Amino acid sequence: MTGAKAAREPTYRDALREALREALAADERVFLMGEDVGRYGGAFGVSLGLLDEFGPDRVRDTPLSESAFVGAGVGAAIAGLRPIVEVMTVNFSLLALDQILNNAATLLHMSGGQVAVPLVIRMTTGAGRQLAAQHSHSLEGWYAHIPGIRVLAPATLDDARYMLAPALADPDPVVIFEHGSLYNVTGTPDPGAAPVDLDSAAVRRAGSDVTLITHGGSLGKALEAAERLATDSIEAEVVDLRTLRPLDDATALASVARTHRAVVIDEGWRTAGLSAEVAARIAEQGFYDLDAPVERVCGAEVPVPYARQLEEAALPQVAGIVAAARRAVG
Amino acid sequence: MAEFTMPALGADMTEGTLLEWLVHPGDRVARGDIVAVVDTAKAAIEVECFETGTVERLLVEPGATVPVGAAMAVIDTVKSAPEPAPGLAPEPARAGGPGATPLVRHLAEDSGVDLAAVHGTGPGGRITRADVVAAVPGKWTGKRQVAPRRPATGAQALPSGSRVRATPLARRVAAEAGLDLATVTGTGTDGAVRVSDVRAVIGTASPPTPPPTPPAPSPESAQTRAAADRQQAMRRAVGDLMARSKREIPHYYLSTTVGLSPAIDWLRARNRQLPVSKRLVPAALLLKAAALAAREVPQLNGFWTDGGFVRAPAVHLGVAVALRGGGLVAPAIHDAADLSPAELMARLRDLVTRARAGRLRGSETTDPTITVTSLGDQGVEAVFGVIYPPQVALVGLGRVVERPWAVDGMLGVRPVVTATLSADHRASDGATGARYLAALDRLLQKPEEL
ipTM field: 0.75
The confidence score (pLDDT) of residue B153 equals 38
SS3 B70: coil
The confidence score (pLDDT) of residue B126 equals 73
List CB contacts of B49: < 8 A, sequence separation 6 or more.
Answer: B4, B23, B29, B30, B31, B32, B33, B34, B35, B75
The residue ranking higher by pLDDT, A317 or B44, is A317
A287 vs B: CB within 8 A: yes
Euclidean distance between CA atoms B350 and B354, whole angstroms: 6
A284 vs B: CB within 8 A: no
* Chain A residue with minimum CA distance to B170: A291
Q: How far, CA to CA in Å, does A324 sit from each of A186, A278, A316, B170?
A: 29, 16, 11, 20
Euclidean distance between CA atoms B325 and A173, whole angstroms: 75
Lowest mean pLDDT among A222-226, B42-46, B68-72: B42-46
B301 Cα to chain A: minimum distance (Å): 51
Euclidean distance between CA atoms B418 and B385, whole angstroms: 13
With 60 as the cut, is the pLDDT of residue B320 above it?
yes
B162 vs A: CB within 8 A: no
* Chain B residue with minimum CA distance to A292: B167
CB contact under 8 A, A288 and B189: no
A291 Cα to chain B: minimum distance (Å): 5
CB contact under 8 A, A330 and B170: no
The residue ranking higher by pLDDT, B129 or A256, is A256
Mean of per-residue pLDDT scores for chain A? 95
In sequence order, what are the beta bridge partners of A30?
A82
A290 vs B: CB within 8 A: yes
CA-nearest of A211, A233, A207, A227 to A291 is A211
CA-nearest of B158, B160, B159, B169 to B192 is B169
Euclidean distance between CA atoms A192 and A322, whole angstroms: 33
Euclidean distance between CA atoms B366 and B51, whole angstroms: 17
Which position among A18, A35, A86, A135 bears the catalytic label? A135
For B125, left (φ over 0), alpha (ψ -120 to 50), or beta? left
Euclidean distance between CA atoms A42 and A129, whole angstroms: 17
The confidence score (pLDDT) of residue A5 equals 46
Euclidean distance between CA atoms B305 and B286, whole angstroms: 28
The confidence score (pLDDT) of residue B145 equals 40
% of chain B at pLDDT higher than 70: 81
Banded pLDDT at B225 (limits 50, 70, 90): low
CA-nearest of A211, A280, A281 to A240 is A211
% of chain A at pLDDT higher than 70: 98
Mean of per-residue pLDDT scores for chain B? 79
Euclidean distance between CA atoms A113 and A110, whole angstroms: 7
Residues B79-114 have pLDDT tens digits of: 544 444 444 444 443 434 446 676 777 777 777 777
Residues A226, A205: contact at Cβ < 8 Å?
yes
* Chain B CB contacts of A291 below 8 Å: 167-170, 194-196
B169 vs A: CB within 8 A: yes
Interface of B with A in 257-286 (CB under 8 A): none
Type and span of the H or E element at B404: strand B401-407
The C-alpha R_g of chain A, in whole angstroms, comes to 19
Q: How far, CA to CA in Å, does B200 sit from each of B23, B59, B133, B179, B190?
A: 9, 10, 20, 12, 19
SS3 B313: coil
b/e per residue A243-272 (b: at least 16 CB within 10 A): bbbebbbebbbbbbeebbbbbbbbbbbbee
Nearest to A260 among B187, B189, B195 (CB): B195
* Residue A66 is a catalytic residue: yes
Q: What is the dihedral of CA A29, A33, A37, A43, to 10 degrees?
A: -130
B189 vs A: CB within 8 A: yes
User: Measured at the alpha carbon of residue B440, what is the angle toward residues B248 and B355, in degrees to the nearest 5?
Assistant: 60
* Chain A residue with minimum CA distance to B168: A288
For B326, left (φ over 0), alpha (ψ -120 to 50), or beta? left
CB pairs under 8 A between A and B: 27
The gap from C-alpha A96 to its chain's centroid, in whole angstroms, comes to 18
Euclidean distance between CA atoms B122 and B107, whole angstroms: 16
Residues A184-219 have pLDDT tens digits of: 999 988 888 888 999 999 999 999 999 999 999 999
Residue A193's Cβ-count burial label (10 Å; 0-12, 13-18, 19+) is: middle
Residues A33, A62: contact at Cβ < 8 Å?
yes
The confidence score (pLDDT) of residue B351 equals 85
Residues B394-430 have pLDDT tens digits of: 999 998 889 998 888 889 899 999 999 999 999 999 9
The residue ranking higher by pLDDT, A319 or B205, is A319
A108 vs B: CB within 8 A: no
Euclidean distance between CA atoms B203 and B38, whole angstroms: 12
CB contact under 8 A, B167 and A288: no
Euclidean distance between CA atoms B153 and B21, whole angstroms: 31
Helix axes A219-230, A318-329, angle to 10 degrees: 50
The C-alpha R_g of chain B, in whole angstroms, comes to 24
Q: How far, CA to CA in Å, does A147 sit from each of A107, A215, A248?
A: 12, 20, 15
CB contact under 8 A, B188 and A260: no
In sequence order, what are the beta bridge partners of A60?
A33
Banded pLDDT at B346 (limits 50, 70, 90): confident
SS3 B143: coil
Euclidean distance between CA atoms B90 and B92, whole angstroms: 6
Euclidean distance between CA atoms B183 and B181, whole angstroms: 5
Written as one letter, the residue type at A302 is: V
B26 vs A: CB within 8 A: no
Written as one letter, the residue type at A46 is: V
Residues A235, A209: contact at Cβ < 8 Å?
yes
The confidence score (pLDDT) of residue B108 equals 75
Nearest to A260 among B169, B187, B189 (CB): B169
List CB contacts of A326: < 8 A, sequence separation 6 or more.
Answer: A229, A232, A234
* Residue A215 is a catalytic residue: no
Nearest to A330 among B169, B172, B189 (CB): B189
Banded pLDDT at A113 (limits 50, 70, 90): very high
Q: How far, CA to CA in Å, does B405 sit from each of A175, B271, B285, B408?
A: 109, 25, 20, 10
List CB contacts of B103: < 8 A, sequence separation 6 or more.
Answer: B22, B23, B27, B28, B29, B33, B129
Which position among A18, A35, A66, A178 bears the catalytic label? A66
User: Measured at the alpha carbon of residue B282, what is the angle toward residues B277 and B284, in degrees to the nearest 5?
Assistant: 70
Type and span of the H or E element at A30: strand A30-34
B428 vs A: CB within 8 A: no
The confidence score (pLDDT) of residue A7 equals 58
CB contact under 8 A, A292 and B194: yes
Lowest mean pLDDT among A268-272, A286-290, A323-327, B119-123: B119-123
Residues B128-156 have pLDDT tens digits of: 777 777 776 544 444 444 433 333 333 33
Banded pLDDT at A69 (limits 50, 70, 90): very high
With 60 as the cut, is the pLDDT of residue B444 above it?
yes
List CB contacts of B223: < 8 A, sequence separation 6 or more.
Answer: B210
Cis, bond preceding B207 (omega within 30 deg of 0)? no
